[in-house]
Amino acid sequence: MSARLQNKVALISGAGTGIGAATAQLFATEGARVMLCGRRREPIEAMAALIREQGGEADWVQTDVTDEQAIERAVSRTLERFGQLDVMVNNAVNYTWGPLAQLSTEDWHKSLRGSLDVAFFGTRAAFRAMQGRGGSIINMGSVVGLLGSPGLSAYGAAKAGVVNFSRAAALEGAPDNIRVNVVIPGVVWSEGTREAMRSEQMIAGTARAVPLRRIGEPGEVANAILFLASNESSYITGQQLVVDGGKTCELNVGASDYTSQTSSKLRQE
């Protein structure tokens, strides 16, 4: 253990599975005391128990982060349990999918609520707890907020909003040494990804569309979150750290084909 988060307290939403769970475990191994929150009790309770079994310090609070009062209570519970809040990871998300022409206003608002509003609720609550002390807030974006994706207009708009909201929040937090940054994952293995990948062909096709030729692991995103939570990033705020295997730096699929062909040719030579 390198103890990069020694003496720090972190609140992580959506911490029962996927990126949130990987982040909670990683933070604990780095010395943080972690409060896990999420909509479903079973996974966050189980993950907190696992962290304690591994020698870490963790607790949990069942929280629907789309409820602004619930996230305020989660922050209050963290302060009561651990006495401080140093890191806030707004990871939980809820969104809808559908063609624009058929997308209902209700589903549009659901995506905004489940991505943009939750970043606002969590950041605002963390600001109040961190004022006079400083801290690091990491909001979760998505490559869909940087690039268009059919069927995800609402989710993409919400995640794009998270990026600019975080810039403004970073400016407001700077006088109190409250840093606000965004981690932007690409396709990463999670419950949702496994449900969407209905065949080996789909998995292979998705992997081929990524320059690194594979789907990311939750722990790889957690490493980026850890960096922004730690003092190693003490002079970084208002920024976006993209963890996508190179996807957003690519103009089109043809570029991937060119890279593949070039690599193959070099190996032959």
Catalytic positions are 155
The residue among 172, 169, 174, 10 whose CA lies nearest residue 84 is 10
> What sign for the dihedral angle of Cα 66, 70, 71, 72?
positive
CA distance linking residue 138 with residue 152, whole number of Å: 23
Residues shown for the chain = 269
- Given a contact cutoff of 8 angstroms between Cβ atoms, the answer to whether 155 and 113 are in contact is no
Q: Is 183 exposed, middle or buried (0-12, 13-18, 19+ CB in 10 A)?
A: buried
Q: Are 139 and 182 in contact (CB under 8 A)?
A: yes
Ordered alpha helix ranges (H), the chain: 18-29, 41-53, 68-82, 105-112, 118-130, 153-173, 191-196, 200-208, 218-229, 253-268
